[in-house]
Amino acid sequence: MKGCDVRALRRREILKAAGAFAAIHPLLLGSVFAAPGDKKMQIGVIGSGNVGSALGRVWANAGHPVMFASRNLEHDKQLAAGIGANAHAGTPNEAAAFGEVLVLAVPYGALPDLGKSLGGSIKGKVVIDACNPFPQRDGEIANRAREQGAGRVSAELLPGARIVRAFNAVGAARMGQAHEAPGKIGMPIAGDDKEAIQVASGLIREIGFEPVLIGGLDKGRHLMPGTPLAGEHSPEEIRKIAATLPS
């Protein structure tokens, strides 16, 4: 038999064997060739109050390993134990090291010290900024964030982080329920880093919201209570409102 005939026969044998393997082991092939969107990401949630606990819970239930962190480690341990195997507890530094993506849901007045203490552990990481500045609670840094824009000030306080502002003006209870009717509620977001926006959008969509990019971090000042984008809106309503906002 000529060399080319031998090679052709071998190719047919290999293809036949592969077909038989696929018929017998479809689940195994499915795991090997899983879609990129199926990848589960380690998420560090710093701030485990109403917002942080609601978000962390739904992501953990969706299969993402989540580490909760706050000033009360015992609270975080109890929270994680109540959620299950995907939930963990640690210090803010441990959560920052653990997470491929970080979610900050702390009082805005905590950001200056948090940025200093976390230091290099947040550089290059996607950080979803769910913090809102309230002068009566957070003091002068809140006034500055409201004057200059929370997105820009957050970026200064968290140097090196790839920030996306989100979850700033929707109730915490809804954050844990949106997956029950996915896509109906829009989630306005703002950011400058395209890859960070893509990562954050995937996580936001996974828990039931439809992310709507309203612009760069300069537009982050519109993402807080008391602005036209506050509250629940459909994705189309958010786009219409965003079109009327000052640049």
Mean pLDDT of 89-103: 97
pLDDT per residue as tens digits for the range 215-246: 999 999 999 998 999 999 999 999 999 999 98
Asked if 214 and 121 sit in the same domain, the reply is yes
- Residue bearing the bigger pLDDT, 186 or 19: 186
Asked if 14 and 92 sit in the same domain, the reply is no
Closest to 222 measured CA to CA, from 163, 157, 169, 153 = 169
Helices H, strands E: what count in the chain? Answer: 12, 8
- CA distances, 18 to each of 9, 12, 14, 15, 27 (Å): 14, 10, 6, 5, 14
Average pLDDT score, the chain: 85
Asked if 14 and 126 sit in the same domain, the reply is no
- Residue bearing the bigger pLDDT, 219 or 21: 219
Asked if 19 and 66 sit in the same domain, the reply is no
Domains in the chain: how many in total?
2
CATH number of the domain to which 143 belongs: 3.40.50.720
Asked if 184 contacts 234 with a C-beta cutoff of 8 angstroms, the reply is yes
- Predicted local distance difference test score (pLDDT) of residue 33: 25
Asked if 116 and 211 sit in the same domain, the reply is yes
Residues with Cβ within 8 Å of 143's Cβ and at least 6 positions away in sequence, in order, are: 133, 135
Asked if 79 and 186 sit in the same domain, the reply is yes
Q: CA 93, 162, 33: angle at the middle one, nearest 5?
A: 90
Asked if 15 and 68 sit in the same domain, the reply is no
Asked if 14 and 73 sit in the same domain, the reply is no
Asked if 110 and 145 sit in the same domain, the reply is yes
Residues 182, 123: Cα–Cα separation, whole Å:
32
Containing structural domain, residue 63: 36-244
Model confidence pTM above 0.85: no
Residues 62, 192: Cα–Cα separation, whole Å:
27
Asked if 95 and 15 sit in the same domain, the reply is no
Residues 240, 235: Cα–Cα separation, whole Å:
9
pLDDT per residue as tens digits for the range 49-71: 999 999 999 999 999 999 999 99
Asked if 195 and 232 sit in the same domain, the reply is yes
Asked if 22 and 41 sit in the same domain, the reply is no
Position 10 pLDDT exceeds 70: no
